[in-house]
Amino acid sequence: MKLLLISNSTNAGEAYLQYPIGQIASFLEGVKEIAFVPYAAVTFSYAEYEAKVQARFDEIGIKVRSVHRAKDPRKMIREAEAICVGGGNTFALTKKMQEQGLIQAIRSKIAKGTPYVGWSAGSNVTCPTICTTNDMPIVQPESFKAIGAVKFQINPHYLDANPEGHAGETREQRILEYIKANPRRWVVGLREGCMLKYVDGKLELIGSRPMRIFKYGVETFEVNSGDDLSFLL
């Protein structure tokens, strides 16, 4: 498999997809056209999402074709040079993907080596489930099961902050609840500006910030770019 799993599309004060576009270009070297899954969009149209991504991908010479335009979205996935899944609401994304049979189609396609790029919700759906998303369940998918391309769970946009006056649970406390209920599963807190690349059986953290690692019965720890992540595979 070839996966590029990005925490967030946009760093504060930057343009959309500005910080990861160089990594995307390198990862998709030789690709002329991608199949784009826009179904995490909720407050704007799929066509608007396609155009937004195309504007950035114009810089790297790649045509964006959204699956929402296809009579047979699964066929588009089967024939794709590469697949990109955008961020937004993970529940909306998962529901639509399940309805169209795209979970299975993408799993089969990327298992054969087709490159996959996802950001935010698009990264979360590569996990066994979507249970470590930060999103509100605005719609109900058939199940929480996702693509399962990786064996661990990702929490995109991972935050350490506990704002003054906030009495609710922190992100870490929520993840500790998850691993208590799912003790066999590793969870990675992927901070903004960072991404995971999986190529040729090697998993690599890219970015200047460490990634927080959670597992039931294991003291929470952090890894940095260049560290061995084979324990997650």
Q: Where are the beta strands (DSSP E) in the chain?
A: 2-6, 33-37, 63-66, 83-85, 116-119, 153-156, 187-190, 195-199, 202-206, 211-215, 218-223
d(CA 26, CA 21): 9
Question: Which one is catalytic: 7, 9, 66, 120?
Answer: 120
Could you count the other beta carbons within 10 Å of the beta carbon of residue 61?
10
Q: Any catalytic annotation for residue 157?
A: yes
d(CA 87, CA 170): 22
Burial 136-171 (b: 16+ CB within 10 A, else e): eeeeebeeebbbebbebbbbbbbeeeeeeeeeeeeb
d(CA 33, CA 66): 11
Q: Any catalytic annotation for residue 120?
A: yes
Question: Which one is catalytic: 9, 66, 68, 135?
Answer: 135
Q: Any catalytic annotation for residue 135?
A: yes
DSSP 202: E
Closest among 53, 122, 56 to 86, alpha carbons compared: 122
Question: Which one is catalytic: 157, 200, 225, 228?
Answer: 157
Q: Which of the residues are catalytic?
A: 120, 135, 157
